[in-house]
């Protein structure tokens, strides 16, 4: 059951509305401020969820980047924790739902490129795989007409060793989850993220998954088996790229570098100037000697964000 608004108390914030799952929209309670945030509430009484919370914070600490949602503050109680994050303008799921026949080429290219450089940053600089790439976990921030992606939801993310396959519990979202995860095989985490990127690209252009089915169950079964059937709406230029990404045999998939070298994807080739490298971590202000956790964490004496 969803929590009702009066139950939620987070220091310094007024809770306004429920966004999705465990995430709420809030406003700073300063009278002269119009600053909004997203607040994710986690249950510390569940040991597994507490472990996921600690792991998620470790990921966020390592991976501060312009296309990863920034954490503003963390409140930790004995029974709960509240992660206060930047409030995005919207998410990719909302955009896709409002464009059932696909988004524009320029929008798809911008979003896909930004996601690719983020996945490359995670994999090559930190040996981290997200493992839950899906539209609802890709937030969008608008400054003018150009979207900036903000990847979020690192609860399924893991550290990995290059070229070492792993086994894990079922993670990710239906239709975006790589078939090797669906079939509980040992898998390369980074190549599982690459598969999800291919599904996302197809959905951006067509509004549909790249799996045929007369109903949801049939389409899902085909997705689990990696039986790809591309939509005729997918343009020829992107069709070849998606086909090379959505290979059931993981080593046959394009690498993230090969995807970024694709002429259609490679935005940098058409940029007259570059400011900062897209792969650079963008650390928020604060003392460099302190970790993100130490700078942002506040342990409060009360037992819970939910008053009894």
Q: Where are the domains of the chain?
A: 5-87, 90-270
For the segment(s) 90-270, the CATH number from 3.10.105.10, 1.10.10.10, 1.10.510.10, 3.40.50.300 is 1.10.510.10
Identify the bridge partners of residue 253 per DSSP, sorted by sequence position. none
Residues in the chain, overall count? 308
> Which pLDDT score, from 0 to 100, does residue 283 have?
41
Contact 288, 282 (CB under 8 A): no
For residue range 136-167, list pLDDT tens digits in order.
Answer: 999 999 887 889 999 998 889 999 988 888 88
CATH architecture for residues 5-87: 2-Layer Sandwich (3.30)
Q: Is the pLDDT of residue 245 over 70?
A: yes
Backbone angles phi, psi at 264, to 5 degrees: -75, -35
Residue pLDDT, tens place only, 5-60:
546 677 888 888 888 878 889 888 876 667 889 998 887 777 777 777 788 888 87
Please, what is the end-to-end C-alpha distance for the chain in angstroms?
17
**Token pair recorded at residue 149:** 């992606």
Task: Collect all residues with Cβ–Cβ distance below 8 Å to 198 and sequence separation of at least 6.
Answer: 210, 242, 245, 246, 253
pLDDT exceeds cutoff 80 at 238:
yes
pLDDT at 197 over 70: yes
More confident residue, 292 or 245: 245
Q: What mean pLDDT do residues 92-108 have?
A: 95
pTM: 0.84
Q: What percent of the chain has pLDDT over 90?
A: 50
């Amino acid at each position: 059951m969803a929590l009702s608004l009066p139950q939620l108390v987070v220091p310094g914030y007024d809770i306004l509305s429920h966004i999705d799952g465990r995430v709420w929209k809030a406003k700073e309670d300063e009278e002269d401020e119009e600053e909004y945030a997203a607040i994710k509430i986690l249950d510390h009484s569940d040991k597994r969820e507490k472990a996921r919370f600690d792991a998620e914070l470790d990921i966020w600490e390592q991976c501060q980047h312009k296309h990863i949602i920034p954490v503003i503050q963390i409140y930790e109680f004995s029974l709960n924790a509240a992660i206060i994050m930047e409030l995005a303008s919207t998410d990719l799921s909302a955009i896709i739902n409002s464009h059932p026949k696909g988004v524009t080429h320029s929008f798809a290219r911008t979003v896909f490129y930004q996601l690719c450089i983020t996945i490359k940053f995670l994999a090559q600089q930190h040996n981290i795989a997200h493992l839950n790439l899906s539209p609802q976990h890709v937030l969008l921030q608008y400054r003018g007409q150009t979207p900036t992606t903000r990847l979020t939801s690192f609860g399924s993310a893991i550290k990995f060793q290059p070229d070492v396959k792993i086994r894990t519990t079922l993670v990710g979202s239906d239709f975006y989850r790589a078939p090797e995860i669906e079939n509980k095989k040992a898998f390369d985490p980074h190549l599982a993220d690459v598969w999800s990127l291919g599904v996302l690209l197809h959905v951006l252009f067509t509004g549909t998954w790249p799996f045929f089915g007369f109903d949801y169950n049939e389409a899902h079964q085909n997705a689990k088996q990696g039986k790809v059937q591309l939509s005729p709406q997918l343009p020829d230029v992107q069709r070849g790229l998606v086909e090379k990404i959505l290979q059931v045999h993981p080593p046959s998939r394009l690498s993230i570098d090969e995807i970024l070298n694709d002429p259609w994807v490679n935005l940098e080739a058409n940029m007259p100037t570059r400011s900062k490298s897209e792969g650079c971590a963008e650390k928020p202000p604060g003392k460099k000697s302190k970790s993100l956790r130490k700078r942002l964490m506040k342990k409060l004496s009360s037992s819970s964000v939910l008053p009894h």
